[in-house]
Structure 1
Amino acid sequence: MPEKRVTVASKVGLHARPAALVAKAAAAQSVAVSIAKAGGDPVAAGSVLNLMTLAAAFGDEVVISAEGEGADAAIDAVAELVATDLDAQ
């Protein structure tokens, strides 16, 4: 299963607005995208509630994964958002 490790760039972590933007992007992918804190259990990245309960804070490393046709593109799309300071937009 392809995966990518990314550092959370938003100052508030994956909460509120950043979580909503990441969940929207993940839900729009052709494959299911999962996200986990390094060493933790993965959750569905397409759910704002799941992202908020993940408690991924600024500077935390997360692992984004997906399986199936288009997995690499889906991972890249979600990883790009996680690695961007979404508070500044």
Structure 2
Amino acid sequence: MERTVTVVPEAGLHARPASKLVQTVNRFDADVSIGRADDGDEGLVRADSMLSVSGLNVGHGESVRVVAEGDEAEAALDAVCDLLSTAVEQNEADGGEAE
């Protein structure tokens, strides 16, 4: 399964948002990959690797493709897409966590 989502966090997929993404992915029994929406399969990287995710250099407002396989693929996609479509910085300032 796969989805395309626009990255909302101001920092894009760097630092804290990338770390939260990796933490979120690791909660599920699923293999999750992420890449720029227009890069095709060769642009996908493992979403459970901080180095790989931050290495994509995806900025705020860019679209990414999220692909998941496994027993909890749909739940993983839901969680990742929710995270990427939420202003992480604002959520934390309000005392909540985007997950």
TM-score by length of 1: 0.93
Counterpart residue number, 2:71: 69
Q: Which residue is 2:95 aligned to?
A: none
Residue 83 of structure 2 is aligned to residue 87 of structure 1: no
List runs of 5+ in structure 2 lacking aligned partners: 93-99
Report whether the alignment pairs 1:58 with 2:60.
yes
Of the two, which has the highest radius of gyration?
A: 2
Query: Number of aligned pairs?
Result: 88
Give 2:44's aligned residue. Answer: 42
Partner of 2:53: helix, strand, or coil?
helix
Q: CA RMSD in A?
A: 0.9
Normalised TM-score (structure 2): 0.84
Residues 44-64 of structure 1 deviation map (CA, whole Å, 9 limit, x = unaligned): 111111111011100000011
1-structure distance, mates of 2:70, 2:29 = 9
What SS does the corresponding residue of 1:50 show, helix, strand or coil?
A: helix
Name the structure, 1 or 2, with higher relative contact order (CA <8 Å, separation 6+). Answer: 1
Cα offset, 1:68, TM superposition: 2.3
Are positions 1:33 and 2:32 aligned together?
yes
Q: Matches of 1:21 and 1:68 in 2, distance apart?
A: 21
Give ranges in structure 1 of 5+ residues lacking alignment.
none
**Identical positions, percent:** 38
Q: What are the equivalent positions in structure 2 for 1:8-23 lying under 5 Å apart? A: 8-23=7-22
Measured after TM superposition, the shift of residue 69 of structure 1 is 2.0
The letter of the residue matching 2:76 is A
